[in-house]
Amino acid sequence: MGNLKSFTETGLICKKDLAPDINKLHNLTTDIIMYLGGHCIEMLKNGYFLYRPTGKGRGKRSRDLSVVEKFMYNEVSSVAHKN
């Protein structure tokens, strides 16, 4: 997967319709940022970024994208190392 910087550089802002499962998106989601492997961060209309891979619970939310990206990278990396 590489390091955090190389992973976050794969992020592309997309319309929420391109999410892997639009039913899992928060109701305030306006767009998403897609990353390598189909991982995504939601962009909410209240100015927050949200990473919630299961579509339930709070996940990680912040107005600072780098905070959410780091959290997502650590979660994705830990799962990849277990497999």
Cβ neighbours of residue 83 closer than 8 Å, sequence gap 6 or more: none
The reported pLDDT for the residue numbered 81 is: 57
pLDDT bracket for residue 1 (50, 70, 90): low
Q: Are 65 and 54 in contact (CB under 8 A)?
A: no
What pLDDT is attached to residue 80? 60
Structure tokens at 48: 């927050």
pLDDT score for 70: 96
- What is the pLDDT, as a whole number, of residue 77? 87
pTM of the model: 0.89
- Percent of the chain at pLDDT > 70 equals 93
Q: What is the pLDDT of residue 78?
A: 78
